[in-house]
Amino acid sequence: MKLDKLLYRTSAAATGGRDGKARTADGTLEFALTLPKELGGPGDHGANPEKLFAAGYAACYLGALRFVAGQEKVTVPADATVAADVGLGEIPGGFGLDVELTVRIPGLDKAQVEDLVAKAHKVCPYSNALRGNVEVRTKVV
């Protein structure tokens, strides 16, 4: 899908693949990458693409929730959370992702949160990028 208007762009580079390093172009993030034990690596304290994706998706989805709530004049408290559980597995001819988002918004009833979740799923850039390629399950707690 082509963007109507570009609002922001950033970049990062990795060296060494899943056992290397990654760094944003502006230097605000820099970290070691380590292959998880489950994939045959040492599982040291480094990050991996799935951890980075989970953190990015969780933050972006919470931002989308706040956006749609604001449009509806609903206040999302500061202690609201989105947890992204991201799995990596085999698909025919390669690898794919499995994603579950768990949303917790204290002070709002479950039906209201479920409505916001459905609307956020339509505006979140991560959800839009995955739609049709990865099943993303949502859970309200």
Domain residue ranges of the chain, discontinuous segments joined by +: 1-47, 49-140
Q: What is the pLDDT of residues 101-115, one digit of tens each?
A: 999 999 999 999 999
CA dihedral angle for residue 55, residue 56, residue 57, residue 62, rounded to 10 degrees: 90
The CATH superfamily assigned to 49-140 is K homology (KH) domain (3.30.300.20)
- Say if residue 139's pLDDT is above 80: yes
Average pLDDT of span 86-107 = 97
Q: Contact, 100 vs 83, CB < 8 A?
A: no
DSSP state of 41: S
Distance CA(43)–CA(33), nearest Å, equals 10
Is the overall model pTM greater than 0.85, yes or no?
yes
Domain 1-47 fold is N-terminal domain of TfIIb (2.20.25)
Distance CA(89)–CA(85), nearest Å, equals 13
| Same fold yes or no, 1-47 and 49-140 | no
The average confidence (pLDDT) of the chain is: 96
Average pLDDT of span 21-40 = 94
